[in-house]
A and B are shown apart, each in its own frame.
Chain A
């Protein structure tokens, strides 16, 4: 029986175990995790902080019993020749397949008041665990000042969530524009505007020098009122163990499209891994990695049918009101190629922006802001490889696509759809003596289905009554007087 050992229990590892057990993995599964607590769903961290979600509700479910999970277990070494993992406590675990899922660690800037020998100092919050989020919520007044450090996606999401929850929020970042790796200038301006609308003070081209009680001092000399400093300046893949073991590293543990490291018996996934392009570096990207690795472990090399897309994944901001998505690789959006069709839409006033790159009607890349329906639609079109509807603007704005019925309203519209009664039928019945809605219902059945046409039928009665009274006494002004019948 194959022995699968997983080091680390990051969300990707949790998902991997889940998919393996659901699909009947025939081997044994052992998880060795340094953390004390169950893994949690990182998507819920802001909710614990802002909505007061009980931290335990953010926990990911326990695995079914055949899976063994050892917590508080740090790894001392990996012996790749004898295929054995040794823990700091001295226990040894033999493996046939090893998966590294050691995740990431937060970068703590080496600044006075922020770093305490590399660990976050009092008042500084990495916000990596639900309990920590709960603690911060408990410590801060409802209108406390919170400064978020870092202008990438994480920083933007966190600042937005905190501001929505009522804190006084500043977002500090060193660059000229937010999310520079994903957004162009115009898009970044829209994001900054959205944050501003929500009460976030965005401080660009700024760095911090020191955290003092109640304020953060900036390199410009100015100070920002700060009761809590949230670190969102980035994370680093935790590759210490992989490095010690002699695996090839790039940004993280270097792996191929099947998450295989330079040692074919060792895989890596999640935040510690550096897969080729195609997996987005986000929770959903980690889940895709788990899906791919599960298929490979179950059915061998090539077992994963859903290959990572060549064009890259999707980065989607989380949080109510933060409608932001980056699809595919942003370079395509700015490149100039004859085969690529570019669509741009910029509406700073309503904080809406779209930039699409299409090839043969298929979406290659996109930046979408403030367009919630388009984000949903285009993400799916990207995932399924379906063509983007030809009415690009209708797609962006979620309008129904019109098509060649040039005529507009038909000559004799059906007023009652339930009973298929047209205006001419109703008019004829009116002239036959059915002069109100009730009488017309008896004569034609109109209004007796769902009843939604009652207003329209009443209106028709009114206009017929008006035209009849005008016509009969005066006799002028009625060039098309009907024949007596």
Chain B
């Protein structure tokens, strides 16, 4: 399969920048392509991605924990036999729900689909979820509730280039998705962020709410939109339902009350609404800053309500969207690795969806399990009487990425069996009983779905190194050992895709009109892309770059306002922990940093965790710029180097999420979950800070 040069996409974020990858005598190099999302741009993570392919500690062989407690290399047969035997024992003793699967938003569509099928058929378990639950689950829940379907951006990224005003709630693409900024540079930006991020620097208006008060701000902006006469009542009457109930809550969010709770001046609130309302083209976008809260789905609903009252969604040149984070965060949530979903973004509790998928899979509908547990609950259940005894992890590092990381480690250690498939050793593989080496981006074929719902081809430049195998091979190997017919778990990506497409037919995320041939010919296909009604039709469905122009995806065709109210974060500051820590991302690293911390250039630039804080806050606690500081919450403490920042709120500390060991920011975070979406409250933890260095003599 290996070639000298392939057109593919960057392995990291949901922009999925187009790249040309070439191999000259063993040296892999990358260059950006003219793909419309990045148009020749690439950030430093993308430029240095090939270095991860040759990482010195790359996993080449399966490993099995010996009786002495060490991981030792073994052959594939032995590893898979061992896993299958253990799984059979556990299922026989405790039932199929004693085995869990933890997937990832970086896996290809084919892998995500096969993982869901493996859980429900080969294991018969309902216990599958993925790390996307930590990422944009709140936006997914709110988007589904409002529009009847959840596609991060229901329009192509390039539409943003014509926007006049964009409100960005809790996103920092200037650092996390630099090439996206090309599409935002023409717009006047309103950025909502408690700190002056690189994106906030470019904003015409920067709103700086206290962490955990974003929903109060959203309610306040809606209140102003209505009281100042910007409510598009013709639009809300014709295209939406539920305005009255929503207004009944927003009526009490007058601007001065919002100011006192959020710290955002009344004049700035009014200006934000006027900018959005007066522009001929305006968009409301949310990112993790709005989403990762105990009221995350309600917060996103609050911003969608604002967009609806201004008449933005589903009208040309306007809209609401979520900036999806992980590489395949979009596709990863559509094909069945979510606890409550079947392929095609169908609900696992919907009888018609179950019947359809069961038929494609060739099984009886009643054999499909019901909904499982969201990621954090899944991990929490480890080792408990009703919980999981074994966990298979694919493409994720929950030891670092789960909230209250100290707890996640303890939970995983209660398992009888932990299997981790990855291409690099991580904090999670180090705890595993069995480690399976799998392929990574440049070594495999597949598809990804980017943040605008466009399906893209990932192509292989290199053969799998050592004895690494594709996750698809791993799943077939395990499934056959568990008694499944080999044909049920194909390993050829295009075959898996064709089945995925059939399984998705008729669902909200309908891929049935897409195949590798169409993608390879360069067609830009955004889902839904159903099969043409007439199989003989000469022109296939062109895909749907823009959703909702005619109607929304609810049965009545209308968007739905959500009735939401603000009650504050789960954890308030107090005498012992008087400051608020909020976590986020920086330009040089990705996710838990497993890949990027192995790239010399990136590791050298940002080698260790840091904490941004106001100079006054630092001075009061004896913390000096550049010194090591200890940040503590009720759950744990982390070490980070102090970076003084005169523009951050004095009550707020910012820590990046990319570091391991003592620098892991999730040692602080609160495992409380949003009741609607299951997303954890990563953005608010009550903390204190002190110097971690001896005072100099």
Contact = CB atoms under 8 A, between A and B. Distances in A.
A60 interface: yes
Given A52-B229, A60-B252, A61-B251, A380 B265 contact: no
B210 interface: yes
B259 A449 contact: no
B625 interface: yes
Nearest to B601: A420
A452 B202 contact: yes
B567 to A, nearest CB: 8
Interface string A45-63: 0010001110001111110
Interface string A380-395: 1001101101110010
Interface in B158-208: 173-174, 178-182, 185, 196, 198, 202
Interface in A7-55: 15, 41, 43-44, 47, 51-53
A320 B270 contact: yes
Interface centre among B210, B257, B263, B647 (most CB of A within 10 A): B263
Contact of B267 (A61, A372, A379, A445): A372
A373 interface: yes
A379 B210 CA distance: 12
B226 interface: yes
A219 interface: no
Nearest to B198: A417
Interface string B250-269: 01101111011001111110
Contact of B41 (A60, A61, A450): A450
A62 B248 CA distance: 8
A375 B265 contact: yes
Nearest to B254: A43
Contacts of A316: 256, 259-260
A57 B226 contact: yes
Contacts of A52: 229
Given A57-B247, A418-B44, A44 B178 contact: no
Nearest to B227: A47
Contact of B650 (A60, A386, A417): A386
Contacts of A47: 227-228
Given A400-B196, A450-B41, A418 B178 contact: yes
B260 A419 contact: no
Given A53-B226, A375-B259, A401-B614, A450 B264 contact: no
B249 interface: yes
A465 B266 CA distance: 50
A445 B257 contact: no
A376 interface: yes
B549 interface: no
A264 to B, nearest CB: 30
B625 A449 contact: no
B227 A449 contact: no
B605 interface: yes
B508 interface: no
B651 A386 contact: yes
A445 B254 contact: no
A284 B260 contact: yes
B403 interface: no
B251 A44 contact: yes
B588 interface: yes
Given A53-B227, A383-B260, A419-B47, A450 B616 contact: no
Interface in B639-680: 644, 646-647, 650-651
Contacts of B601: 420
A346 interface: no
B185 A445 contact: no
Contacts of A386: 578, 650-651
Nearest to A314: B260
Contacts of A417: 198, 587
B625 A404 contact: yes
A148 B248 CA distance: 31
A376 B251 contact: no
A60 B259 contact: no
Contacts of A118: none
Contacts of A402: 646
A320 B274 CA distance: 12
A380 B263 contact: yes
Contacts of A420: 44, 588, 601, 605
A318 B256 contact: yes
Given A57-B226, A372-B265, A284 B256 contact: yes
Given A386-B578, A389-B616, A379 B185 contact: no
Interface centre among A377, A401, A448 (most CB of B within 10 A): A448
B44 A51 contact: no
Nearest to A379: B260
A403 B256 contact: no
B42 interface: yes
Contact of A448 (B32, B202, B614, B620): B32
B251 A401 contact: no
Contact of B614 (A15, A287, A379, A389): A389
B242 interface: no
Contacts of B647: 400-401
B463 interface: no
B615 interface: yes
A383 B573 CA distance: 12
B40 interface: yes
Interface in A87-110: none
B650 A389 contact: yes
Contacts of A376: 259-260, 263-266, 268
A323 interface: yes
Nearest to A11: B252
B518 to A, nearest CB: 30
B47 A445 contact: yes
A435 to B, nearest CB: 19
B609 to A, nearest CB: 18
Interface string A413-455: 0000111100000000000000000000000010011111000
Nearest to A323: B267
B7 interface: no
Nearest to A421: B44
A448 B605 contact: no
B286 to A, nearest CB: 20
Contacts of A448: 32, 40-43, 47, 179
Given A401-B646, A420-B605, A44 B260 contact: no
Nearest to B616: A389
Contacts of B259: 316, 375-376, 379
B573 A450 contact: no
A434 B499 CA distance: 50
Given A41-B254, A450-B179, A401 B616 contact: yes
Contacts of B32: 448
A445 B42 contact: yes
Nearest to A287: B257
A61 B248 contact: yes
Nearest to B229: A51
Interface in A348-407: 372-373, 375-377, 379-380, 383-384, 386-387, 389-391, 394, 400-404
Given A375-B259, A402-B646, A58 B229 contact: no
A419 B182 contact: no
B251 A58 contact: yes
Contacts of B587: 417-418, 449
A445 B251 contact: no
Contacts of B650: 386-387, 389
Interface in B585-626: 587-588, 601, 605, 614-616, 619-620, 625
6 contacts: A44-B227, A53-B226, A60-B248, A401-B647, A418-B43, A450-B43
Top 6 A-B pairs ranked by shortest CB distance? A449-B178, A450-B181, A61-B248, A401-B646, A450-B178, A403-B615
Interface of B: 32, 40-44, 47, 173-174, 178-182, 185, 196, 198, 202, 210, 226-229, 247-249, 251-252, 254-257, 259-260, 263-268, 270, 573, 578, 587-588, 601, 605, 614-616, 619-620, 625, 644, 646-647, 650-651
